[in-house]
Chain A
Amino acid sequence: MSTTVVVGSSIGGVRTAQALRREGYEGRVVLVGEQAREPYDKPPLSKQFLAGDWEQERLVILPRATAAAEGIELRLGVPATGLDVAGRQVLLSDGSRLDYDHVVIATGASARPPRWRQGAGVHVLRTLDDGRALRADLERGGPVVVIGGGFIGAEVAATTRALGLEVTVVDPVLTPMGRMVGTEIGRYFRDLHQRNGVTTRFGVGVQGISGAAGSLRVQLTDGALLDAAAVVVGIGAVPNDGWLTDSGLCLRDGVLCDEYSRAVDAPDVFAVGDVARWFHPDRGQYTRVEHWTNAVEQAACVAHNIVHPGDRRPYRPVEYVWSDQYDWKIQMVGRPFRGTHQELVGELGDGRSRAVMFYSDDTGHLCGAVTINWPRALVQCRRQLHAGATFDDAVAAVERLLSASEPNAPVATTVGSS
């Protein structure tokens, strides 16, 4: 009987294991995880979990009973320490080895460690333990300084502010999420945070952090000093590929893979999610994406490619990420940061207004979109990006939604779960 070992028990690894079964894989499926707890989901860590609305049981994505029912063997609490590609074995921290016919690397990424200081009231947010530690500190009160105005930083700021704590966000970029979406729409996000009582220090860097847990001081590059009971640092992530250093696999800020998500020069090795840098055939370049949806979609593609080697599919996604801040739902598709021209459709101001920012590249094609409080427009933008639509056609499609926004007639709607 053949064996597929999936290394990594977050969303990418779990969905790969499940997708193998869905594709009809009949061999052994072994899921290896560094953490001993049941596999859990991470997006709520900066939102519902941090707010105290969800407890950790609700984060579990693969209960042990479900794994058993689906024929997935769990090896949790035993991190992989190496890969013997020639011998087809995964090396585990307890000294044991797992033979494989295929291995899927899904070890994700870690929060980039703050260079100013770590621990003692200075938090990152990536794991459940990170989330628990931050939540405990927030319960002791503010003020809180958030370093980094990207997705994590902006969400933590929003959640912390909603808990009633004083919050300051600091980032050398001029607006929240500015690296991803540009400053034109980013200023609406800055206004959103300010409207909700967050102090923003954009365009300023951090010089250092001093003091002790509970009474920290953050010094900014303009000389300002901010008092903080706790500091949260969200300055990106780094792929967890260090355990593969001796494997001979080609590592380039992630595991380098071909268009089928197979490691280059190692056809039995696949990679999924944050740790994978694969060749995107539509882009003609190697790409690494850190979003939840990417891990899920790549998992499905890799499982298919393992089970159906005669019908391999290239992985060619349109990136998608969502973020919830205050009462705003922000959804982003494609690659807005590649845009050279942009246009806003809809209204953005106080309250729950809705709008889309469209981005086009130099060829006049849509290359990305950011929707605010408008999931139906998001669906349309995603379709337009998949179809390779021109900018003008994409804008027109969403403008049609504005004039005739009747949903398709539902055949049934179930309220409440059963």
Chain B
Amino acid sequence: MPVLKSDVTVCQGYANCVETAPDAYDVGDDGKVVLLRQDITEAERPRFEEAVRSCPMNALRIEDA
């Protein structure tokens, strides 16, 4: 099952992920990414790949748990 991961030490709050997949990503008051959910289905993977690749800092990934 694919799992969403984020690295807040790299995140700069550019927020493109929120634009692409607002059901999974938000930005907190500290300006860093917040994961609203972690488990995704295979069918959803393409949409989250798009979100991952919209990050200018490469702070997001999808891992296979």
In the complex, the answer to whether A376 meets B54 with C-beta atoms within 8 Å is: no
- Interface size in chain B (residues, C-beta < 8 A): 32
Q: Give the tally of cross-chain contacts (CB within 8 A).
A: 92
Of residues 1 through 57 on chain B, the ones whose CB sits less than 8 Å from some CB of chain A are 5-10, 12-16, 18-19, 26-31, 34-38, 46, 49-50, 53-54, 56
Q: Which listed residue, A18, A379, A417, touches B15 by the CB 8 Å rule?
A: A379
In the complex, the answer to whether B46 meets A22 with C-beta atoms within 8 Å is: yes
Bound-state Cα–Cα, A88 to B48, Å: 33
B28 CB contacts on chain A under 8 angstroms: 376, 407-408, 410
Query: Is A411 part of the contact surface with B, judged by Cβ < 8 Å?
Result: yes
In the complex, the answer to whether A413 meets B8 with C-beta atoms within 8 Å is: yes
In the complex, the answer to whether A18 meets B53 with C-beta atoms within 8 Å is: yes
Main secondary structure of the interface of A (DSSP, over half): mixed
A15 CB contacts on chain B under 8 angstroms: 53
In the complex, the answer to whether B54 meets A413 with C-beta atoms within 8 Å is: no
In the complex, the answer to whether A407 meets B6 with C-beta atoms within 8 Å is: no
Bound-state Cα–Cα, A87 to B48, Å: 37
B5 CB contacts on chain A under 8 angstroms: 414, 418
A260: shortest Cβ distance to chain B, in Å?
18
Bound-state Cα–Cα, A292 to B54, Å: 9
In the complex, the answer to whether B38 meets A411 with C-beta atoms within 8 Å is: yes
- Interface size in chain A (residues, C-beta < 8 A): 37
B14 CB contacts on chain A under 8 angstroms: 322, 331, 375
In the complex, the answer to whether B46 meets A382 with C-beta atoms within 8 Å is: no
Nearest to A44 among chain B residues (CB) is B56
Chain A to chain B contacts (Cβ below 8 Å), 27 pairs: A18-B53, A22-B50, A23-B46, A41-B56, A293-B16, A296-B16, A296-B54, A320-B16, A322-B56, A329-B13, A331-B14, A331-B15, A375-B27, A375-B31, A376-B13, A379-B15, A382-B19, A405-B29, A407-B28, A407-B29, A408-B36, A411-B35, A411-B37, A412-B35, A412-B38, A413-B35, A414-B5
Q: Which residues of A are in contact with B by a Cβ distance under 8 Å? A: 15, 18-19, 22-23, 41, 43, 292-293, 296-297, 300, 320, 322, 324, 329, 331, 373-376, 378-379, 382, 405-408, 410-418
* Seed contacts A19-B53, A408-B36, A414-B5; 14 additional CB < 8 Å A-B pairs: A22-B46, A329-B12, A331-B14, A376-B13, A376-B28, A376-B29, A378-B15, A379-B18, A379-B27, A382-B18, A406-B29, A408-B28, A417-B7, A417-B61
